[in-house]
Amino acid sequence: MQFTSSVLVSLLAITGSLAAPTKRTPDAGKLEVRLEAETFFLHVPLSNYQADQRFLGDRFTSVNFKSIEVLNGGLATPRCKVIDQAQKEIIAKRGDNIDTSFSDAGKGKWTFKDGPTGVGALKCDPAFTANNLNVQFIAAPPAGDAKVAVNAAVVDPTASSTTTAAATATSAL
């Protein structure tokens, strides 16, 4: 009787470890993007080493997605952009970072800044770079043409002091 219960306990322990969830990572040389809606995830496999664009098509025109996660084994390239149905880049946030191009970098998903949004296309390209919109959103209104005052330290290597200059940047968001 004790032998049977020991075997049964061992089988339960093995079964639990087999059923434990694991982090999903793509195969080597593959890039996968996961768009999250309220009730499901859409997995989009892409080519890892070249520019790639996928249109989501008519099946997803009524779906609002709330986040994007780039799965690329923790790498920072390539980066991906999400285009809304009006052909504008969607802005997303991860931690303190606000951007329109998204990478894996082993840091998890990006949440769309303005909430759930309709997605028209997904573009990934090794040439995309981070554009760090953080500075613009500190003082700028969330939409429209915005003028943002930026204080920048200007260092003159021939002078003994640092001067501060004010600059105005115009951003069409």
SS3 content of the chain, % helix, strand, coil (to 5): 15, 45, 40
Q: Enumerate residues 6+ apart whose C-beta is below 8 A from 117.
A: 64, 65, 66, 84, 90
Confirm whether pTM is higher than 0.85.
no
Q: Say if residue 112's pLDDT is above 90.
A: yes
| Span 4-42, pLDDT tens digits | 444 434 444 443 333 343 445 545 557 889 999 988 988
